[in-house]
Structure formats: C-alpha cells, structure tokens
Amino acid sequence: MNSEVKKASLKEIAEALSKVETDTLLVVVDSRVWQLYGKDLEENINKVLEANKKVLLYKTLEGEATKSMAEFEKGLEFFLEKGIHRKSHLVAIGGGATSDFAGFLAATLLRGLSWSVIPTTLLSMVDAGIGGKTGLNSKNGKNLIGAFHMPDHVWINESFLETLPETELNSGKGEVIKYGFLSQEIAELLKAKSDLSSIIEACAQKKEAIVQADFTERGERISLNLGHTFGHAIEKIYTMPHGEAIFWGMALIFKLYGTEEQLKLLRTFETGVGASFGQSPWFNKTFPVDKIIEYVSKDKKVKSNGIVQTVTIKEVGKFETKERTLDEIRKELEKEKDELRIFDF
C-alpha cells in the first residue's frame, strides 16, 4: 500500500492520467485553483479525453469550507447521479482541504475508488497530499471524521506555488520546518538555505517513507504529529494558518519538554526556509490554558480518557513519544503561564 510520489509537469500528469486503467475519471478540483488554472487544466484534461475516458468535473468550495458533511453529501450525490462504477478513478487537485475531502469521497464512493493527488499548495506538497489521511471536520474538531485511503499517485508540480498567497506559503513552511527535526538530510538542506524545490522533494519523500513504514499510525507516523497536539488547539483559538500554528505548537512543546537548543534550531530552520513567524499569538496576552486543554482533550490522538501522547525530539532525526495526562499538561502550562506571556526565543 504505497503511492508513487514524484515531480511532474502538467503535460506529464495528463499523460500519466490517460494511462490510468479506467474509463471514468472523477476530477475534484478546488474552485480557486480552477479559476487560476482551469484553462491549463482543461487543455490537459482534453488529452485524457482523447484517450477515450469520460471526465466528471466537480469544483469544491475553497479550502476548509469544503470539509463539511453537507459538502460531502453534495459531492457524493454529484458523482453517484452520473452512474459511476468501482473502476472509476478519482483525482484531487488542490490543497490539503481538497485532498482530505476528495480522498474521503474516494474512500466512501461505492465503498472505495482508487485515487490520485495533484497538490497545489506547499502544505499539501510536503504533507497533507501524501499518506492517505482523508476526512472532514466535525463540529467537535478538525479531521475527526475520515478514513485512511492511500492514493496511487501524488504528482508534485511546483508551478502552482507561483500563485499561492504569501500566508499559505508561510503556512507550508511551518510544516517544512517540522521535517527539519525529523530528518538529518532536511535539517542540512534548511541550514544551507537550499532552494525550495529540493526541500519540497526531500520532505515529500520523507513523508511517503514514514507512511509506508507505518500506514495506520501505530509507530513512526506519530512523529509527523510533532507540534500538532498544541498546534491544532492554537489553530482553532487564533484562527491561524495550519503550518504557522504547528510552528507555535513546536515552540510550545520545546519550551515545556525540550531544550533551548531545539528552540534555537526552530529559528534556524525558520530562516532556512525563508519564513518569519515573529512573535507568538499570545505574546503580551493571557496564555489560554483552559482553551488549549479543552481542544487537546478532543484531539484524535488523546488515547483514552485524559491520556495524551506527546511527540518530542531527542536529537534531529530521533523522536520520542510520552504519555501525559491532561492534568499534568494543564499543571505544566499553568506553571509556565506567566513566562509564556512574554515568551520569546
């Protein structure tokens, strides 16, 4: 159960798609991506049509808005009404929200269709688009509904980044920084301020390797969760871009359970990927202990009542997990509360 992850031009992608063993392609594309690239995409889709395939095109809402139950139902019925079959192949074109949503459609239409991803944001190229995690948001939290459903192909085409808004590019950089802690190779690339293209490639391959080793997240895959336990809470509380929230989630975890050196490295990697996250969202404000605990308690990773598995770093490339109770974490946060208010590093 693994995906082929590789860089490809739109032309190469179209060629690959025309060779997929199916007569019906379900294309699920983010509506903003369609606005920007519809013409380019259509030209290439025509090549697929020439290969005698039927193409059904579905445009999602922009970003996370599409990951609702109502949109899910709309997407399902759209395709079911056309009379699709089990050998249909679905292609997701967009950011992480699009691939989460489209992948969940693929996982549940007729009890599962094969699918592929063309990630169009930095975040999805290095993380969300790879690894088969799919899903929707619940009223009770992000990504609480979903399935593991591995795509056959992930085609990375960096030309999409040219039109990516600055905040989204930055958000992706937050996740890129995470890989710096999980891989010596990527740490070196970041320290050397290498070009983004090489960094993306390395992150995507690292993610795919981790996922292949541990598809259902019982072992190494948990390392990808570095910064996410607090990060998801921060994302919600401050309505902040995902990767940026993960950056602050890592900062928090290093502050509580890590080292000064790790905090320093966090800034080094930040510079290395050309990001600048400035000061924490709670700087000079009351640190929101209760809200953090509330959101953490609803996280999927909370193992059983009150036990949270936190991911920390022993050294670059080596992670550690530890079980902590919500109460322990609350106490730790309460203790650091005043310091966190003025926390800078």
Residue with tokens 């619940």: 138
Shortest Cβ 60–a copy of itself spacing (Å): 17
Alpha-carbon gap, residue 254 to 230, rounded angstroms:
11
Structure tokens at 82: 């056309």
Beta-carbon contacts of residue 271 (< 8 Å; ≥ 6 apart): 193
State which residue, 303 or 335, has the beta carbon closest to a copy of itself.
Answer: 303
φ, ψ of residue 30 in degrees (nearest 5) = -60, 135
Asked whether position 107 contacts a copy of itself by CB under 8 A, the answer is yes
Question: Smallest distance, Å, CB 192 to a copy of itself?
Answer: 37
Token pair recorded at residue 247: 């950056």
Q: For a copy of itself, which residue of 303, 314, 322, 331 counts as binding (CB under 8 A)?
A: 303
Residue 296 engages a copy of itself in binding (rule: CB under 8 A) = no
- Bridge-based pairing state of the strands 133-138 and 141-148: antiparallel
Residue 89 binding a copy of itself, by CB under 8 A? no
Q: Does 290 bind a copy of itself (CB under 8 A)?
A: no
Decide whether 74 or 191 has the Cβ nearer to a copy of itself: 74
Can you tell me the distance from the alpha carbon of 56 to that of 24, in angstroms, rounded to the nearest whole number? 8
Among 81, 162, 166, 344, binds a copy of itself (CB under 8 A): 81
Tell me: does residue 193 bind a copy of itself (CB under 8 A). no
Element containing residue 321 per DSSP (H, E):
strand 318-325
Alpha-carbon distance 345 to 343, whole Å?
A: 7
Q: Is 215 helix (H, G, I), strand (E, B) or coil?
A: coil
CB nearer to a copy of itself: pick between 2 and 138: 138
Examine residue 141 and tell whether it contacts a copy of itself (CB under 8 A).
yes
Does position 138 interact with a copy of itself (CB under 8 A)? The reply is: yes
Q: Applying CB under 8 A, does 288 fall inside the site for a copy of itself?
A: no
Rounded distance, CA 166 to CA 277, Å? Answer: 12
Closest CA to 173 of 267, 274, 83: 274
Total binding residues for a copy of itself by CB under 8 A? 43
Q: Which of 50, 77, 260, 327 is the binder for a copy of itself (CB under 8 A)?
A: 77
- Residue by residue, DSSP assigns 229-246 as HHHHHHHHHTT--HHHHH
Choosing from 108, 194, 259, 321, the residue that interacts with a copy of itself (CB under 8 A) is: 108
Map residues 205-244 to x or -, x wherever contact with a copy of itself holds by CB under 8 A: -----------x----------------------------
Strand partners for 266: none
CB-CB neighbours of 140 under 10 Å: 9
Residue from 298, 330, 337, 341 that binds a copy of itself (CB under 8 A)? 298
Q: Rule CB under 8 A: is residue 83 a binding residue for a copy of itself?
A: yes
Task: Compute the least distance from the CB of residue 144 to a copy of itself, in Å.
Answer: 5
How many other C-beta atoms can be found within 10 angstroms of the C-beta atom of residue 50? 10
Q: Which of 5, 292, 36 is nearest to 126 (CA)?
A: 5
Select from 297, 328, 337, 341 the one that contacts a copy of itself (CB under 8 A): 297
Residues that bind a copy of itself (CB under 8 A): 22-24, 54, 69, 72-73, 76-77, 80-81, 83, 85-87, 107-112, 133-135, 138-141, 143-148, 216, 297-298, 300-305
